[in-house]
Amino acid sequence: MKEKSKLKKFLSSFYLDKKLAKYDAEACIVWTQQLVKNKIIKKQQAEILIDALKKIKNKPEKIKKSEDIHFALEVTLEKMLKENKNLAGIIRTARSRNDLVVSDERMFIKEEIVLIVKLLKNVIESIINLSIKNIDVAMVGYTHLQPAQPVLFSHYILSFAWWFIRDIERFKDCYKRVDVSVLGSAAFAGSSFEVDRKEVARKLKFMEISQNSVDSVSDRDFIAEFIFCCATVMMHMSRIAEEFILWSSPNFGYIKLPKELTSGSSIMPQKQNPDYLELVRGKATKVYCDLLGILVLMKNLPLTYNRDMQEDKVYLFSSVEVVKDCLDIIRLVFDNVILNVEKMKNDLLKYDFILSTEIANFLVEKLNLSYKEAHRKVRQLIEYSLKVNKKLTELNYKDYQSVINISSNMFDELKDRLSIEKVGCRYKTFGGSSISEVKRQIKKLKSLLIKLC
Amino acid sequence: MKEKSKLKKFLSSFYLDKKLAKYDAEACIVWTQQLVKNKIIKKQQAEILIDALKKIKNKPEKIKKSEDIHFALEVTLEKMLKENKNLAGIIRTARSRNDLVVSDERMFIKEEIVLIVKLLKNVIESIINLSIKNIDVAMVGYTHLQPAQPVLFSHYILSFAWWFIRDIERFKDCYKRVDVSVLGSAAFAGSSFEVDRKEVARKLKFMEISQNSVDSVSDRDFIAEFIFCCATVMMHMSRIAEEFILWSSPNFGYIKLPKELTSGSSIMPQKQNPDYLELVRGKATKVYCDLLGILVLMKNLPLTYNRDMQEDKVYLFSSVEVVKDCLDIIRLVFDNVILNVEKMKNDLLKYDFILSTEIANFLVEKLNLSYKEAHRKVRQLIEYSLKVNKKLTELNYKDYQSVINISSNMFDELKDRLSIEKVGCRYKTFGGSSISEVKRQIKKLKSLLIKLC
Amino acid sequence: MKEKSKLKKFLSSFYLDKKLAKYDAEACIVWTQQLVKNKIIKKQQAEILIDALKKIKNKPEKIKKSEDIHFALEVTLEKMLKENKNLAGIIRTARSRNDLVVSDERMFIKEEIVLIVKLLKNVIESIINLSIKNIDVAMVGYTHLQPAQPVLFSHYILSFAWWFIRDIERFKDCYKRVDVSVLGSAAFAGSSFEVDRKEVARKLKFMEISQNSVDSVSDRDFIAEFIFCCATVMMHMSRIAEEFILWSSPNFGYIKLPKELTSGSSIMPQKQNPDYLELVRGKATKVYCDLLGILVLMKNLPLTYNRDMQEDKVYLFSSVEVVKDCLDIIRLVFDNVILNVEKMKNDLLKYDFILSTEIANFLVEKLNLSYKEAHRKVRQLIEYSLKVNKKLTELNYKDYQSVINISSNMFDELKDRLSIEKVGCRYKTFGGSSISEVKRQIKKLKSLLIKLC
Amino acid sequence: MKEKSKLKKFLSSFYLDKKLAKYDAEACIVWTQQLVKNKIIKKQQAEILIDALKKIKNKPEKIKKSEDIHFALEVTLEKMLKENKNLAGIIRTARSRNDLVVSDERMFIKEEIVLIVKLLKNVIESIINLSIKNIDVAMVGYTHLQPAQPVLFSHYILSFAWWFIRDIERFKDCYKRVDVSVLGSAAFAGSSFEVDRKEVARKLKFMEISQNSVDSVSDRDFIAEFIFCCATVMMHMSRIAEEFILWSSPNFGYIKLPKELTSGSSIMPQKQNPDYLELVRGKATKVYCDLLGILVLMKNLPLTYNRDMQEDKVYLFSSVEVVKDCLDIIRLVFDNVILNVEKMKNDLLKYDFILSTEIANFLVEKLNLSYKEAHRKVRQLIEYSLKVNKKLTELNYKDYQSVINISSNMFDELKDRLSIEKVGCRYKTFGGSSISEVKRQIKKLKSLLIKLC
């Protein structure tokens, strides 16, 4: 059969798993120490081996290319050890690539979770800062992209912070299930050598140890869970991106992105497009695909190890990269976005029918109507206002009387209450749109960040 | 415009969310109690209303069809209350379908998690029982569907138990994030009425209360996380199904399914096919799609509420049903599967080259070879055995000598060690394939079940 | 083993495949005719049987429930035939549920493609009508949701028509591969009876006949292809929905949806939300999931038939329903949407920097600049206009001179060309935004509709 | 704002779209020729420019890195042209990156379809060869992984050939929709320059020209369709991989893979695992994800161009690479797989209950039973054989008589018919398992290959 190099390339995972080099070296160091205890290798020999492994760990980029990172490390060791090259073959004892790769992946994910949580924390802090700086700015709140009710900008964007708090919580729950040592499970059955797996786990800084060797090498749910955590972060960022893309369109015009976070056109000289946010939005797709990928990959797979599982790293590494890159961008957006408070105010006045709920609430309170009746009355009022071509806040007492039977005192009280910029601050329920609630949330968020990160 | 009924049908979610009726009624009861406190409704009126709501809660199937469950409940109330029908319109106060539907969904998921965890526990117990009954049965363990090493059947299937333990842990972590009351968040901004959301939460038996009203109605990550938990359960079951379908094929023949768990053919009279397991395997696909569905649905959605989100229930309800049905089937399989221990034993003997690792271990131990060298030697031994057309266990001392330089004493010791049925019990590492480790695992699993369920 | 009814329900596909009843009956009629030819059944017996089958075909809702539609039909026949009930068992000859279900599905899809193509045609005609009615209306064209260039509304929406034309073409290509008779492939190997599969195919109105019996029952790519065709239609509709949701937001305000295509709020009396379009957008997700579903379901499946494949109908039926419902809605939107031409015009004037490309083109033409240089000059002009707080069309000759060295004649010529409403009609390239090109497109579309439908 | 290089990297698509360099250069050459006609550029200038572009086209690897391939090409031109660097800026005229990138992608896909169809053809030819070499080998055919009926190996594997024939047809249908020139659509509205798009199309070897400029730059359904075609190929290959992995497991043992198509274990010396096939199976997942990716990416996107669409190439390039690599592997498998005809024969005899259908057919023919009755009789016969512990073919006339009332002549005739190796050749229906039908199929396949490729 010809085509050897093509075949070799097809099988190789080195282009992927070289990313795991330092973890692989670390695992091999601890493993060698264990083999000394079991007298598989002599202390002096182990020292030579460990010395070489440490060098590799510190310069993983020097590893020779091979079928995969594990063989690559072995080959590199052989080259380094020269006359002692036989030592390299010792570390295979009582161990398989099956348990080694899972060990590497778990060490990798643990580090990445710490990094991602840090980035999430940064984003939350940026949101809090933006919220504090604009704590009393009111804007139109939308449902169905239709003006709905006035709302505090600060309250609105704090909702994103809560999304990311939950994302952190999820990553931390996931971490518990990743932080489990599998080394010593060997091919899948364990080994007839006496290996102290607990000591190995402790030295590799794993909190737990896997209970079943078959499970250890066969399952990849810890990767799926990690990617799922990334996917919800991306879902959240895709929505923030969408919102900010809308708001930076001049038709909304509530925000302006700094030039550094926009990009021009080769044909249209006027353009400053929100390309960064569009890419964040688009890249959410990728992590969704990665989640699907790991799940579909594992579906129907008989135990224990099958080579299909080599592809797990395709999805794992992609997710990690995308989520970290995008978190950086989103933080920069929150740090640098410029608010157009005047446009926000203008739109509040322009779409003053968003006060309808407030009027209905007032009618319930004062006239003892059921909310359904009050709702109907206000609906009539709006139809009336459209007919006479007035805005809702322009309706006078007479206008009101043609629809609702209220006293002039009540009317005055209502008018007083309908100051559009203030309505958005008056949702006094717990967690509602009001300055005091925003302040409470910020305090709570800050204490959670200390607790979680 | 014609086609009214088509339009009505298209918009309606009643066919879906009627499943939430009892939760909707429950939420409305608590809400009405709250409105009494706020003097929106008088005590006597509230009693009439609550009385009707309780009737609905107990017979949710009597609800009149409407656009959605919330309107359906309102319409049903109006019918029931007759002359007091105006009371029905009161419960809308300070509340929106946006926060109500999330409340319903959260109550629903909480109940379903409890049920699913119970089913998972049942499956784990069935696995433990099957494991205990066959604690010392050895079989061929496979990697890449090629015979690899001997392994205890009991150890092998316990790996599934650990999968489901982690699934339970995930559901329980998910539960914390579902167990959050959002009622009182209204459309998205909260309300200008004084509603005691904490009391509402307590009465609805929620542990936590949402901190931000915009977040409360806009995000669906709790559904995505729940479906993800279902998806990993299905991934796990699809693999068990695959394994058991293989094993029940006469070419493996390690197990036989009871007739009740098979199905025949309309054309082939001899057939007893593992249709149930195939359906479990196939249905994993559906829950994967549901996970993708909820994530794609929410991607790019601007805040706060959009009608797209109505479709969240399509994915939620499908997942719940599939995962529960399949857990039932898988439990029945573990409870009723019949082992063919003789075939397991025959295959162990037939594929005795699975002792290779053990021989290599022996050479490492006795001849002080590196594992790599030992591996090479055993490879030569296998090639030799193929050449002389002997099985590995049939090789005599002379055969060995033509490849490896070992003493006859050593050879005797090795032969002694190669009792194929015992090798699978001798992987004495923690979590390895040995009877003592299986017993330890079972003890640990039982204590975890008590702790987790 | 207890739980019989649960098991029965789990296995049953009748809730799904009863939809195939009429095709199943039709196939059985033709099959019975074939069995007469083979003397498996006598002519008089066949007549009795066919008579009963025809009754079933005309009233498929009368079929008795059973494990699946094929058994259900058999059971129903037995009931109908009473003393001749044995005849019912004859139609199983030389045939299996494996080839029968594929036959049913293919007949079903063929009919559905015809229906969907009709709906697509209707939508295209509605787009054309809307385009004709507003042939000369100019509006702001966007890239990245930022105003980009003026464009004709009619031209813009005709792009949707081309999307649907390609969708029709895809369905028609798919149809060729669905229009293949597999009946007579039996379980998977064909049959030792002499069955004239070609005659069967002809009578069932199939154009082609499958060439390999194993392929006939094992593959489902025709379903995947059909769902893919549905998925692109949904992708297209999701984008139209998005566009129209944006345009109906008052911040854009380019269109207004008729009340019948909006829905209100239980809390906000002013609301008229584009719920129908949001559902179309949301439901695209479902068909994507269906596509994924059929592909994942079939992945890794060994031949020939496995029960997993029963789930193919879950995805098939869902797609068909969603795509048809949504096409109806989208057509209604095009038929009933109300344009706000004034707002379109106002925005054209407001965002007159969208003329930048036209100015750059002018500079290339007149000053012999490279486009890159012209682009830079216009960029400077825009910055100048922002500095002096003028709109682009308000800049006078002096303003221009501070940036670009043009003669006053040239300036006059340029000003003349920058009539914003006309620019959008002047893209005279083939397929560009101009009234003549719109007219050409409409003519072409109409001829394609005749050719394709 | 700091972090400039991070931002630059995030935005850049050069790492992806450099793959399009030669198409970009080609498009620019033709475009420059067009600009001469429009007198935007002088003939001598054009020659300089085209000369440089041709150099780039031939050595695309020399292109300077930039934000994307289009800017990279411009920058590279400027470097090459030195004092004439201004010429480089001319090719932007009347053209945008929006229409250029679609042109590049369409040229790329056209070439890739040709290559993939070639690879598909190779695989089909390899299947045909393997089929011819083993035309009369019978084996056990399975449904539900349970022995079902005897079947010809040659017939069985030809089913794969028909899968790939349909895949080719799909690619060819897709090609028609890719083979459409969009150049000259500019940003989305066309251009006010007189560009002869038809001439451009002809020179770029496009068969068709896009009819609407908005459609030209906004839609990516041609990419989705192409990836869908790749996905069905992968679905098909995943199933072949599954089948061959099963067959190469010694429990089936029907085939043996050559050493070059297997891989060993670091711990188990005996191993020769079907890693290549497992990777093919696993990589199907990736293309599924790519299909999902392009569809999700485009969902909900407002027109016309958004930067999200840059990510289309992520999915496109991945699909192309995976499908081509895997087709190579699968062809090598068909070319080099070694059949174990003896094991196939042994299993036929071992699982002789697969003759049941044949017996039932016989009873229908001779005893005038309905198939359902015959089916029931044979079921009884099987139960009888299990009771007396005989194989089905070992039953004598007396055994038969205890279940079925047949004459001894009939019994002899039946026994004669039940030669298990011959049954699989006797399914004489069109497309059934018989040598004559296999020969017919091969002839038909060969003529189709000539027609299609």
pLDDT tens profile C337-361: 999 999 999 999 999 999 999 999 9
User: CB under 8 Å to D33, separation ≥6 — which residues?
Assistant: D46, D50, D203
Report the C-alpha gap between A59 and A343 in whole angstroms. Answer: 55
Instruction: Please report the pLDDT score of residue A124 as a whole number.
Output: 98
Is D166 inside a domain boundary? yes
Give how far D136 is from chain B: nearest CA, Å: 23
**For the whole model, what pTM was predicted?**
0.97
Candidate from C281, C297, C307 with C-beta closest to B285: C297
**A30-44, A411-425, B403-417, D362-376 — which is least confidently predicted?**
A411-425
Q: Is A95 on the interface with D (CB under 8 A)?
A: yes
Q: How many CB atoms lie within 10 A of CB D159?
A: 27
Report the C-alpha gap between C331 and C318 in whole angstroms. Answer: 20
| Dihedral sign (CA A185, A187, A191, A194) | negative
Report the C-alpha gap between B255 and B246 in whole angstroms. Answer: 9
Is A171 inside a domain boundary? yes
CATH code for the domain of A54: 1.10.275.10
Cβ contacts of B27 on chain C, cutoff 8 Å: none
Q: Which chains, if any, share at least 3 CB pairs under 8 A with chain D? A: A, B, C
Of residues D180 and C367, the one with the higher pLDDT is D180
Name residues 379-418 of chain D within 8 A of B (Cβ): 379, 381-382, 392
3-class SS of residue D24: helix
Is D310 inside a domain boundary? yes
Indicate the pLDDT class of residue B424, thresholds 50, 70 and 90: confident
Are both A227 and A318 inside the same structural domain?
yes
The domain in which residue C213 lies consists of: 98-133+150-192+205-346
What is the per-residue pLDDT across D12-52, written as a single tens digit (0 to 9) for each? 999 999 999 999 999 999 999 999 998 889 999 999 999 99
CATH code for the domain of B316: 1.20.200.10
Closest residue by Cα to residue D440 from C183, B216, A366, C210: C210
What is the per-residue pLDDT across D285-305, written as a single tens digit (0 to 9) for each? 999 999 999 999 999 999 999
Cβ contacts of B162 on chain A, cutoff 8 Å: 210-212, 215, 219
Q: Is the pLDDT of residue D1 over 70?
A: no
Contact criterion met (CB < 8 Å) for C375 and A266 = yes
Contact criterion met (CB < 8 Å) for D269 and B375 = yes
Give how far C220 is from chain A: nearest CA, Å: 18
Contact D117, D450 (CB under 8 A): no
pLDDT tens for the 453 residues of chain A, in order: 568 889 999 999 999 999 999 999 999 999 999 999 988 899 999 999 999 999 999 999 889 999 999 999 999 999 999 998 889 989 889 999 999 999 999 999 999 999 999 999 999 999 999 999 999 999 999 999 999 999 999 999 999 999 999 999 999 999 999 999 999 999 999 998 889 999 999 999 999 999 999 999 999 999 999 999 999 999 999 999 999 999 999 999 999 999 999 999 888 888 999 999 999 999 999 999 999 999 999 999 999 999 999 999 999 999 999 999 999 999 999 999 999 999 999 999 999 999 999 999 999 989 989 999 999 999 999 999 999 999 999 999 999 999 998 999 999 999 988 888 788 888 989 999 999 999 999 999 999 999 998
Contact C157, D212 (CB under 8 A): no
Contact B138, B344 (CB under 8 A): yes
Instruction: Please report the pLDDT score of residue A433 as a whole number.
Output: 97
Mean pLDDT of all residues in chain B?
95
Given the residues A66, A159, A265, A433, the one annotated as active site: A265
Name residues 122-151 of chain D within 8 A of C (Cβ): 141-145, 148-151
Are both C332 and C365 inside the same structural domain?
no
Q: Is B429 on the interface with D (CB under 8 A)?
A: no
Instruction: Please report the pLDDT score of residue C394 as a whole number.
Output: 93
Angle A371-A375-A380 from CA coordinates, rounded to 5°: 150
Can you tell me the mean pLDDT for D143-157?
97
Give catalytic status of residue B159 as yes or no.
no
Q: Is A319 on the interface with B (CB under 8 A)?
A: no
Angle B424-B429-B430 from CA coordinates, rounded to 5°: 115
Are both D25 and D70 inside the same structural domain?
yes
Q: Is the pLDDT of residue C15 over 80?
A: yes
Are both C27 and C44 inside the same structural domain?
yes
Q: Which residues of C are catalytic?
A: 144, 265
Label residue D366 exposed, middle or buried (CB < 10 Å: 0-12, 13-18, 19+).
middle
Return the residue of A nearest to B433 by Cα.
A189
Q: Is C267 on the interface with A (CB under 8 A)?
A: yes
Contact criterion met (CB < 8 Å) for B148 and D278 = no
Instruction: Please report the pLDDT score of residue C192 as a whole number.
Output: 86
Q: Is B92 on the interface with C (CB under 8 A)?
A: yes
Contact criterion met (CB < 8 Å) for A361 and B186 = no
3-class SS of residue B96: coil
Are both B177 and B50 inside the same structural domain?
no
Are both B112 and B88 inside the same structural domain?
no
Residue to mutate among D145, D281, D344, D381, with most B CBs inside 10 A, is: D145
Candidate from A7, A285, A306 with C-beta closest to D296: A285
Is D141 inside a domain boundary? no
Are both D154 and D267 inside the same structural domain?
yes
The residue whose two tokens read 């004439």 is D84
Name residues 339-368 of chain B within 8 A of D (Cβ): 347, 350-351, 353-354, 356-357, 359-360
3-class SS of residue C453: coil
The residue whose two tokens read 């020399």 is D62
Can you tell me the mean pLDDT for B57-72?
92
Contact B328, B116 (CB under 8 A): no
Contact criterion met (CB < 8 Å) for A295 and B173 = no
User: CB under 8 Å to D429, separation ≥6 — which residues?
Assistant: C94, C184, C185, C186, C190, C191, C193, C194, C195, C197, C213
Can you tell me the mean pLDDT for B365-382?
92
- What pairs with residue B149 in β-bridges? B141
Q: Is A336 on the interface with D (CB under 8 A)?
A: yes
Give how far A411 is from chain C: nearest CA, Å: 19
Are both B358 and B271 inside the same structural domain?
no
Q: Is D193 on the interface with C (CB under 8 A)?
A: yes
Return the residue of A nearest to B149 by Cα.
A189
User: CB under 8 Å to C213, separation ≥6 — which residues?
Assistant: C99, C182, C184, C185, C186, C188, C189, C190, D155, D427, D429, D431, D432, D433
Cis peptide bond N-terminal to B304, omega within 30 = yes
Structure tokens at D418: 């039940």
Report the C-alpha gap between B189 and A141 in whole angstroms. Answer: 8
The residue whose two tokens read 């879902």 is A235
User: Which run of H or E residues covers position C180?
Assistant: strand C180-181
Can you tell me the mean pLDDT for C129-143?
97
Candidate from B351, B381, B382 with C-beta closest to D250: B351
Provide the 8-state DSSP code for D251.
Answer: T
Closest residue by Cα to residue B328 from A301, D144, C1, C301: C1
Can you tell me the mean pLDDT for D425-436?
93
Mean pLDDT of all residues in chain D?
95
Last residue of a domain, one of C67, C93, C119: C93
Last residue of a domain, one of C346, C365, C386: C346
Contact criterion met (CB < 8 Å) for B293 and C310 = no
Q: How many CB atoms lie within 10 A of CB B416?
A: 9
Candidate from B163, B221, B242 with C-beta closest to A301: B242
Cβ contacts of D162 on chain C, cutoff 8 Å: 210-212, 215, 219
Contact criterion met (CB < 8 Å) for A288 and B292 = yes
Can you tell me the mean pLDDT for D390-402?
93
Are both D277 and D419 inside the same structural domain?
no
Cβ contacts of D273 on chain B, cutoff 8 Å: 143-144, 146
Indicate the pLDDT class of residue C146, thresholds 50, 70 and 90: very high
Contact criterion met (CB < 8 Å) for B357 and D269 = yes
Q: How far is CA C108 from CA C72, C104, C231, in A?
A: 18, 6, 18
DSSP C392-435: GGG--HHHHHTT----HHHHHHHHHHT-HHHHTT---STTSSSH
Residue to mutate among A193, A285, A321, with most D CBs inside 10 A, is: A285
Contact criterion met (CB < 8 Å) for A184 and B430 = yes
Give how far C58 is from chain D: nearest CA, Å: 25
Are both D361 and D248 inside the same structural domain?
no
Report the C-alpha gap between C235 and C280 in whole angstroms. Answer: 10
Q: Is the pLDDT of residue B234 over 80?
A: yes
Contact criterion met (CB < 8 Å) for D225 and C232 = yes
Instruction: Please report the pLDDT score of residue D2 as a whole number.
Output: 64
Label the pairing between strands C255-256 and C338-339: antiparallel
Residue to mutate among C73, C206, C255, C295, with most D CBs inside 10 A, is: C295
Structure tokens at C317: 């039926």
Is B142 inside a domain boundary? no
Can you tell me the mean pLDDT for C115-128?
98
Name residues 237-266 of chain A within 8 A of B (Cβ): 238-239, 241-243, 246
Contact criterion met (CB < 8 Å) for C292 and D292 = yes
Q: Which residues of D are catalytic?
A: 144, 265
Report the C-alpha gap between B46 and B58 in whole angstroms. Answer: 18
Are both A269 and A163 inside the same structural domain?
yes
Is B309 inside a domain boundary? yes
Are both A356 and A419 inside the same structural domain?
yes
Is C200 inside a domain boundary? no
Total tally of structural domains belonging to chain D? 3
Given the residues B265, B370, B408, B447, the one annotated as active site: B265
Report the C-alpha gap between D131 and D137 in whole angstroms. Answer: 9
Name residues 4-23 of chain A within 8 A of D (Cβ): 4, 6-7, 10-11
Is B138 inside a domain boundary? no
Q: Is D289 on the interface with A (CB under 8 A)?
A: yes
Return the residue of B nearest to D140 by Cα.
B251
User: Which run of H or E residues covers position D413?
Assistant: helix D408-417
Contact D212, D247 (CB under 8 A): no
Return the residue of C nearest to B185 by Cα.
C267
Give how far D229 is from chain C: nearest CA, Å: 9
Last residue of a domain, one of C321, C346, C371: C346
Closest residue by Cα to residue C201 from C118, C113, C117, C110: C110
